Chain A
Amino acid sequence: MISYLIDIFLIGIGAALINNFVLYYFVGICPFVGVSRKISTAFGMGCAVIFVIAIAAVISWAITTYVLMPGALLSRTVAGLFVPPETAAGIDLTILSYIVYIFAISSSVQFVEMYVRKFFPPLYKALGVYLPLITTNCAILFACLVIMSKITGVDNPADAWDLGRALTLAVGGGIGFTIAIVIMAGIREELDLCDVPKPFKGVAISLIVAGILSLGFMGFTGVDSGLRKAMMPKPEVVAQVQPEAEAGK
């Protein structure tokens, strides 16, 4: 249990700071450059992204686990009605994953927009403008793809990510995106007052600033393995002793 919590914590830290979505994986650069002129709008965009990325992660996790992955429960059962069970068990729908994800994302954005507009008008006022933009935000699709690779790409099924891990990665990534875009907006607000050479005004100087930010975020590399060592000394010792006893038998 403890080791699971540590795992969750480290996934969150990793997605938010160490392998920051914007500054390490370069996803969500378009809004990062486009919507980072004022801190308030940047924060609004960040919140909208966290909101949508969490929903998209849950949907994509469920679809991948129960429908798309080889031998998934739902597709196996449905196919089992028409073909012999051995054939049904080998069914692999991963080729459809990209199409399914992009439609899951765009429809969830639509639903979120409708729901928020109906039930939380103040929230809609704050986030509404950003919601349609999010469909084309690569950060959301990227989170879905990472979750997919952690489910279908592992060697043994026991290591596949559960919903908690998937959700933590997505929310952590969203928070990381918000952190990056808000810092960027803060710098750009100051940058407007500076005498930037004319060819560099606008996007070019923002990119260079982003480079320096990314350099700063590189300092977090390795924090997770350090934290893991600091937090869980016990299990590793036990794991090394036990098999030796087995070998002695």
Chain B
Amino acid sequence: MADQPTAAERFIQGILPENPVYRQLLGLCPTLAVTNGLKAAITMSAAVLFVLFCANVIVSLIRNLLKPHLRIVIFTLTIATFVTFADRFLAAYVYQMSKVLGPYIPLIIVNCLIICRCEVCASKQGVVTAGADAIGQSLGFCLALCSIAAVRELLGTGMLFDIRVLPVVWPDWVIMVLPPGAFLTFGLLLGLVNWYSDRRAAAAGGK
């Protein structure tokens, strides 16, 4: 247990080295579904941040009381409760956005990212580390979502955050905001990230 990562390490790792989407391939469902606009992507990331942070902190607080065979039940209960909170908050304060996100907010419950972080980090480490881990992972998630959403929204509608960026003559690639565009964009970006990290690894190995 001595070599558990510290809070700062957990935070840093979540953002790029262990990016939940590009590296661990967790939570792919919202990654593909809500990335046809940057606004939706950011709202989704905020909801994930809220749920992951609260779940991690609660699980970390009660980690010494957990029975191994009731562990998953408690994780699920905690996550489902906070997802309901997030869902109601969105419906009350940003109603239009919650209509756009629709069923993908409740689907955070079965997002492997959250239960994985509870299992790997929060059920073993202290509150501060768990909190830092949650924020780091959520930032990584947000970064990944925004990268995909930016490409899709820009090419698909010529806009970013619903503001026109490309000139009006740009022929909107409608396919990018439709389902196939999600798969294609994410596949290509994932390949790009792999290529870049392979090159970095090769360069580091060459030294």
Interface residues, chain A, with chain B CB atoms under 8 Å away:
23-30, 33, 95-96, 98-99, 102-103, 106, 135-138, 141-142, 145-146, 149, 197-200, 203-208, 210-212, 214-215, 218
Contacts and interface: CB of A to CB of B under 8 A. Distances in A.
Contacts of B28: 26, 29-30, 33
A208 B103 contact: no
A149 B191 CA distance: 37
B29 A30 contact: yes
A169 B116 CA distance: 30
Interface in B82-119: 83-84, 87-88, 103, 106-107, 109-112, 115
Interface of B: 25, 28-29, 32-33, 76-77, 80-81, 83-84, 87-88, 103, 106-107, 109-112, 115, 175, 178-184, 186-188, 190-192, 194-195, 198
Contacts of A102: 76, 80, 109-110
B84 A98 contact: yes
B162 to A, nearest CB: 22
Residue among A30, A106, A198 facing the most chain B CB atoms (10 A cut-off): A30
A198 B191 CA distance: 9
Contacts of A210: 183, 187
A218 B179 contact: yes
A103 B74 CA distance: 11
Given A30-B112, A199-B194, A200-B194, A211 B184 contact: yes
A136 B115 contact: yes
A84 to B, nearest CB: 27
B110 A26 contact: no
Contacts of B194: 198-200, 204
Nearest to B83: A98
A171 to B, nearest CB: 19
Given A29-B28, A197-B191, A214-B183, 7 more contacts: A27-B107, A29-B29, A33-B28, A98-B83, A103-B80, A204-B194, A211-B184
A27 B28 CA distance: 9
Nearest to B197: A199
B179 A214 contact: yes
11 contacts: A26-B32, A27-B107, A30-B29, A30-B112, A96-B84, A145-B106, A199-B191, A199-B195, A211-B181, A214-B183, A215-B180
A136 B112 contact: yes
Contacts of B198: 198-199
A99 B191 CA distance: 37
Given A23-B179, A95-B88, A99-B81, A207 B109 contact: no
Contacts of A214: 179-180, 183
A146 B103 contact: yes
Contacts of B84: 95-96, 98-99
B25 A203 contact: yes
Residue among A96, A98, A102 facing the most chain B CB atoms (10 A cut-off): A98
Residue among A103, A135, A145, A211 facing the most chain B CB atoms (10 A cut-off): A211
A39 B178 CA distance: 28
What 4 A-B pairs have minimum CB-CB distances, sorted nearest first?
A211-B183, A207-B187, A199-B195, A208-B187
